[in-house]
Structure 1
C-alpha cells in the first residue's frame, strides 16, 4: 500500500469519531474515578497519558524512577503538574508494586529501559528493567482487583520484516517477528509473558499496544542514544552542528505523535474489543529518516547534513498496518509528520531551556 492510498489523518480521525458518535474524551468518561497505576509515567508518553487520564477524572498514581534523563529532563515532561500522585520508585521493587496495585482498577505498564543503544551497551540493566520488572508487575497483578493491564510494547519486535521482498514493509500484528536488538527481545518476551500469565477466566484482562516511532514536544534526547530523530536533528541544527543521518537516513519509520499515542493507550484501557488483543499504534504512513531532515531544513536553512554509520540494532524499519487499531480502538492518528515537526520546532523556539546542557556543552 502506498502512502498516497491513505485518507488524510485528520479526515480519517473525524470519520471515526462521527461513526461512533463519541469523542475520545467521551469514551474515556468510563475512567472517571477509576484508580489507575501508570508505570513509567514520568517519561514522554507516560506524562502525556497521565495528564489525559487526570483530565477525564481518573485517580492516577505514577511509579517512575525519574532518572532516565540527566539534569532536569523529567521536569520538562511535567508529570508533577498533572494532578497525579507521583511515587519515585522501581518496578523491580516488589513491595512497592504490591502496595500500589492492591487497590488499582487499571494498570498501564510503560516503564522500561527504553533506549535501543543503551540496552545494547548494558544488557544486564535492560534485563532487570524490561524483563524482571515486567515479571514483577504480572505476578503482583494476580489476586488483585485489576480489571485490565495495558502493556506498552514496540514496533522494534518486527525488526526489518521479511527478507527478500522490497520495502518499505507494512507491519501487521500477526506476521512473523524478527527482533534485532536487546531492547526488541525484551519487549517481545514481555508480550509473550503477558499472554501466558493474564487473560484467564476471572483474571485481569490484558491489551498490548505496539508503539511505532513516537515523537513530539516536549521530547528531548538522551546522551549516547540514536533514537528520537526529531529532537536529535532539530537540536543539532539549532546548535549550528551538522544533522547526522545514520546510514544515510534510508531507514523508514512510522512517525506517530505523542499526543496521538497517549489517546490510543488510554482507549486501550476501555475499549471492550481490546481484551486479549495486540494492536499497532502508528499512522500507517512511511517516513524516511532523511525526510525528517528535509522537513527541518526550512527552519534551519544553514544546517549541514552528513552521513554517519548505521548503529548496531537500528532496523531499516517499516510502517504500521492500522486496520486493527481502527476496528478495535476506534482510533486513528490525527497529527501528520509535517504538522508534528512544525509543532516541535515552534515549541523548541519558545522553550530555550529545553536544550540539554550536556548537549550544548558537547562540541561534537
Structure 2
C-alpha cells in the first residue's frame, strides 16, 4: 500500500472532519505518504479536548483550521491549491440526528452542498465522499436474517442520518459528473471501531467503545433490542487505508464502494467478546432506539476489485486491541460517563 500511496507525495489533500477518529487516522497516513494536509473541522464533536488529547490531531503535522463547512469562504480558502479532498465532516450520530434533524440538515446537507460546489469550481483532481452503510437501512424486507448489502441494491434508509448520507451521495454524482469537474468516489463505511474511539453523550453508536467502557466501570453492558442487530465491524486503521487508496486508485473514479469486512457480527456477539476480558460482566436488555437498523454486512467484491484492498484486522483482534488500550488509558473514559449511569 505504501508504494501505491507514493502518488500522494507532495500533493495537497484537504480533509473535512479530519480531527475525528477516522479523519485523524487518515491524516496520519497521508502525512506518512509525504502529502501536505489541511484539516477543516469545527473541533466540537466531543465534550472537552478529545480531538487533541486522544486523537492527537495537533501532533500530526497537518494545518488544522477550525471552521465550519457551511462557511463558504472558509471552504474556498482551504480548497485553494488543493489536489484532493476527503469530505468526512458530518453530524455523524444516528441518535443525535433523530433528535435534532435541523442540525443534521445544516451539517450533512447544506454543508455538503457548499463543499461540493466549491470543489466543482476548483482545480481539485478527486473528491472522496464519506458515506455510510446506514443508507441500506434494513435491506430487503422480504429476507429474514443477516443480509449482505451490495452497492447496486435498492436503498431504504430508516433514519434522518441515513437520509442525509443518501442525499449527499446523489448530490455528489449530480455535481461532479461533468467534463470539467473533479473526479469523485463514494465510500460507504460500515461499523467503524478501534482505539481511541469514545462514546458521545446520548448516543447509541460505537458499540465496542460503549460496551467496553460499561464493562470496565463495572456496569451491565446494555444490549439495545437484545443485541440481535447485525453489524460489519471494520477497524479504523483499515478504514483509513481504504480511504487513502480511494484518492489514487484509477478504478475508483465515479465508483461507490463498501468499506467493510464482509463478516456479519451481532451486537451480542461483540458484547460476548468483550466479556471475555471482564469476568464479572453482565448484560441487560434495553429497547431498540429509533432509527437503529437491524443491519447487515458488506459485499466486498467491489472494494477488492476497484480499491485493490482488503481489511487486515478481524473483529476478535480488534476488540482485544481496544480493551487493552482502554486498560492502558483509563483516563479515556469520559467524565460524564464515569460520573453516572449511561444515558
Same fold (TM over 0.5): yes
1:215-230 to 2 correspondences below 5 Å? 215-230=193-208
Question: Helix, strand or coil for the counterpart of 1:25?
Answer: coil
Distance 1:165 1:230 in 2: 27
Question: Helix, strand or coil for the counterpart of 1:145?
Answer: coil
Match of 1:253 among 228, 231, 247: 231
Question: Helix, strand or coil for the counterpart of 1:236?
Answer: helix
Distance 2:122 2:102 in 1: 30
Distance 1:285 1:227 in 2: 19
Please name the residue that 2:25 is paired with. 48
1:138-217 to 2 correspondences below 5 Å? 138-217=116-195
Instruction: Provide TM-score, normalisation by structure 1.
Output: 0.93
Q: RMSD over aligned Cα, in angstroms?
A: 0.7
Q: CA deviation at 1:201?
A: 1.2
1:287-306 to 2 correspondences below 5 Å? 287-306=265-284
Query: For this pair of structures, how many residues does the alignment match?
Result: 341
Q: CA deviation at 1:143?
A: 2.5
Please name the residue that 1:10 is paired with. none
1:265-344 to 2 correspondences below 5 Å? 265-344=243-322
Q: CA deviation at 1:240?
A: 0.7
1:325-364 to 2 correspondences below 5 Å? 325-364=303-342
Structure 2, unpaired ranges of 5+:
none
Deviation digits for residues 320-339 of structure 1 (CA, Å, limit 9, x no counterpart)? 00000000000001100000
Distance 1:346 1:115 in 2: 26
Distance 2:120 2:19 in 1: 25
Deviation digits for residues 164-214 of structure 1 (CA, Å, limit 9, x no counterpart)? 212200000000000000000000000000000003113200000000000
Instruction: Provide TM-score, normalisation by structure 2.
Output: 0.99
Distance 1:319 1:252 in 2: 7
Distance 1:285 1:363 in 2: 32
Distance 1:358 1:72 in 2: 14
Distance 1:363 1:326 in 2: 42
1:75-154 to 2 correspondences below 5 Å? 75=52, 76-154=54-132
Q: Does residue 234 in structure 1 map to residue 212 in structure 2?
A: yes
Please name the residue that 2:49 is paired with. 72
Q: Does residue 38 in structure 1 map to residue 15 in structure 2?
A: yes
Structure 1, unpaired ranges of 5+:
1-23
Question: Helix, strand or coil for the counterpart of 1:29?
Answer: helix
